[in-house]
């Protein structure tokens, strides 16, 4: 193909009518579309998985609005760039009909101080903010900024949406329309794209890159072309879940070399560093647990550090935490205990709390023996006294079993000691 632009870029729509999917937002009577077409554009956060049209929606908004449009990437911009944009917006506002729109892609990669720098300008109307994120904004966008924005959720494209993209690309794209393409099977295109329009276009462009006189797209052809170009496909994110799975299992399996390798694969592939750090916190609690309680502290400290410093330096605390967790003793005893307890709750329902454990803030409750005969553990030797803490029907239930490691052997010995005393 002669053009250097990827298919996804060539096919980017410029109007709501050409937009595929997200009809709850951009359908003819959808509130967001009506508001934008009327010129009323609120500050907003567009939340959804990759390739579902967040950036495309912003492109459409920029096409139909008369306002100045400014774009920043959270990957490469900092507080300095944000302040420069705000100063620029203040000057533009003196001569334009409406305030400029600032689009920040991957806004979840902005740390707290970077997001703080936006607050005043959003609140006083200097700019209208549009942020795009693949992460839950409740966790990744600071509350003061989130409260000033509408949150719109974008969904994976369904098969009908993907069909629309396929047919339009084959018939209207400046390059594909020159080829003799016939689509016999679409299941593999659906499966490997996973509702991601950008990924679908990447696959379609790859499948149609041969020199055949007639390109007949079948499931086998899609599979064979992807296998031949696995490096290309990995870069588009296909093995995201496979690689994070290999990373988790390498840490769990106490193999620091493999864990570091998979970490490097993720970093080189552009994986979200916060996603990796969250997995380390989960590993620290699920797979190391009480065998080394410091693992949780290290994992949390790692998350805080990478949030403050960003890439490329973030690779160092990520590597440090990865090696620490991989070489730590392992225990899933707490994980097993809580799952066993949850299963018992589902089986037995809401069993009553024993009277002596109940709170008694009123005289009536005291008359009903709420809290009566409760023994305050700190008044007894070793701060322990034997009494019933479980509901009557579960009085002999056991959920936590110390695992055979040095730390939990100490726990077992201590529990045995105080109970015998």
Q: How far apart are CA 250 and CA 257, in angstroms?
A: 8
User: Is 14 among the domain residues?
Assistant: no
Average pLDDT, the chain: 84
Asked if 270 and 304 sit in the same domain, the reply is yes
The 10 Å CB-count burial string (b at 16+, else e) for 255-293 is: ebebbbebbebbbeeebebbebbebbbebbbbbbbbbbe
Question: Quick one: pLDDT band at residue 3, thresholds 50, 70, 90?
Answer: low
CATH number of the domain at 79, please.
3.40.50.300
Asked whether residue 135 falls in the same domain as residue 165, the answer is no
| Distance from C-alpha of 58 to C-alpha of 46, rounded to nearest angstrom | 9
List pLDDT tens digits, range 174-230: 888 888 888 888 888 888 887 888 888 888 888 887 777 888 888 888 888 877 655
What's the pLDDT band for 231 if we cut at 50, 70, 90?
A: very low
Place of tokens 């203040």: 90
pTM: 0.53
Rounded Cα distance between 176 and 5, Å, is 13
Domain stops at, among 129, 153, 177: 153
Query: Nearest 5°: phi and psi at 411?
Result: -60, -45
What's the pLDDT at 2?
45
Residue 395, domain member (yes or no): yes
Residues 331, 332, 334, 336: what is their CA dihedral angle, to the nearest 10 degrees?
Answer: -150
Q: For residue 236, what pLDDT band results from cuts at 50, 70 and 90?
A: very low
Most confidently modeled of 95-99, 212-216, 311-315, 358-362?
311-315
**Domains of the chain: total:** 4
Residue 352 structural domain: 347-420
**Domain edge (last residue) among 99, 122, 153:** 153
Q: Tokens at residue 420, please?
A: 């015998």
CATH of the domain at 319: 1.20.272.10
Looking at the fold, whether 229 and 245 belong to one and the same domain comes out as no
Retrieve residue 224's tokens.
Answer: 């064979």
Q: Do 294 and 403 share a domain, yes or no?
A: no
Residues 267 and 389 in one domain: no
4 assigned to some structural domain: no
User: Could you tell me which residues come within 8 angstroms of residue 134 by beta carbon, excluding any fewer than 6 positions away?
Assistant: 47, 48, 49, 50, 106, 108, 272
Estimate to the nearest angstrom the gap between the alpha carbon of 309 and the chain centroid.
Answer: 19
Q: Are residues 132 and 173 in the same domain?
A: no
Q: Please count the other Cβ atoms lying within 10 Å of the Cβ belonging to residue 309.
A: 14
Residues 280 and 301 both lie in one domain: yes
Whether 391 contacts 353, CB under 8 Å: yes
Residue 336 lies in a domain: no
What Å distances lie between residue 58 and 19, 30, 36, 129, 132, CA to CA?
Answer: 11, 16, 11, 11, 9
Tell me, yes or no, whether 148 and 111 share the same domain.
Answer: yes
How many angstroms separate the Cα of 21 from the Cα of each of 14, 57, 74, 218? Answer: 14, 11, 26, 24
The answer to the question of residue 10 being in a domain is no
């Amino acid at each position: 193909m002669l053009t250097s632009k990827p298919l996804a870029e060539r096919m980017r729509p410029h109007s709501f009518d050409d937009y595929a999917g997200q009809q709850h937002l951009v359908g003819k009577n959808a509130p967001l579309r009506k508001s934008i077409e009327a010129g009323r554009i609120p500050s907003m956060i567009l939340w959804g998985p990759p390739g579902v049209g967040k950036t495309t929606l912003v492109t459409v908004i920029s096409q139909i609005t008369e306002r100045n449009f400014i774009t920043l990437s959270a990957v490469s911009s900092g507080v300095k760039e944000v302040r420069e944009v705000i100063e620029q917006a203040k000057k533009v506002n003196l001569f334009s009909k409406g305030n400029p729109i600032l689009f920040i892609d991957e806004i979840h990669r902005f740390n707290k101080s970077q997001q703080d720098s936006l607050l005043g300008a959003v609140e006083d109307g200097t700019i209208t903010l549009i942020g795009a994120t693949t992460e839950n904004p409740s966790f990744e966008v600071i509350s003061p900024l989130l409260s000033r924005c509408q949150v719109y959720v974008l969904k994976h494209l369904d098969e009908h949406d993907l069909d629309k993209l396929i047919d339009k690309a084959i018939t209207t794209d400046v390059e594909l329309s020159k080829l003799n393409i016939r689509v016999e099977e679409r299941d593999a295109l659906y499966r490997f794209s996973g509702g991601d329009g950008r990924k679908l276009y990447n696959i379609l462009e790859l499948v149609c890159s041969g020199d055949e006189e007639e390109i007949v797209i079948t499931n086998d052809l899609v599979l064979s072309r992807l296998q031949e170009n696995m490096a290309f496909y990995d870069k588009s994110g296909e093995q995201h879940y496979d690689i994070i799975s290999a990373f988790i299992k390498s840490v769990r399996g106490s193999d620091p070399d493999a864990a570091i390798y998979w970490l490097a694969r993720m970093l080189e592939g552009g994986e979200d560093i916060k996603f990796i750090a969250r997995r380390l916190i989960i590993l620290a609690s699920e797979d190391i647990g009480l065998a080394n309680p410091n693992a949780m502290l290290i994992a949390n400290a790692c998350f805080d550090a990478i949030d403050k410093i960003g890439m490329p330096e973030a690779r160092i605390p990520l590597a440090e935490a990865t090696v620490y967790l991989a070489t730590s003793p392992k225990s899933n005893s707490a994980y097993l205990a809580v799952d066993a307890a949850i299963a018992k709750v589902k089986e037995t329902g809401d069993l009553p709390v024993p009277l002596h454990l109940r709170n008694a803030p009123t005289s009536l409750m005291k008359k009903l023996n709420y809290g009566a005969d409760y023994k305050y553990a700190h008044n007894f030797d070793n701060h322990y006294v034997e009494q019933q803490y479980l509901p009557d029907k579960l009085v002999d239930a056991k959920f936590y079993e110390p695992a055979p490691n040095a730390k939990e052997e100490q726990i077992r010995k201590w529990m045995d000691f105080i109970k015998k005393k």
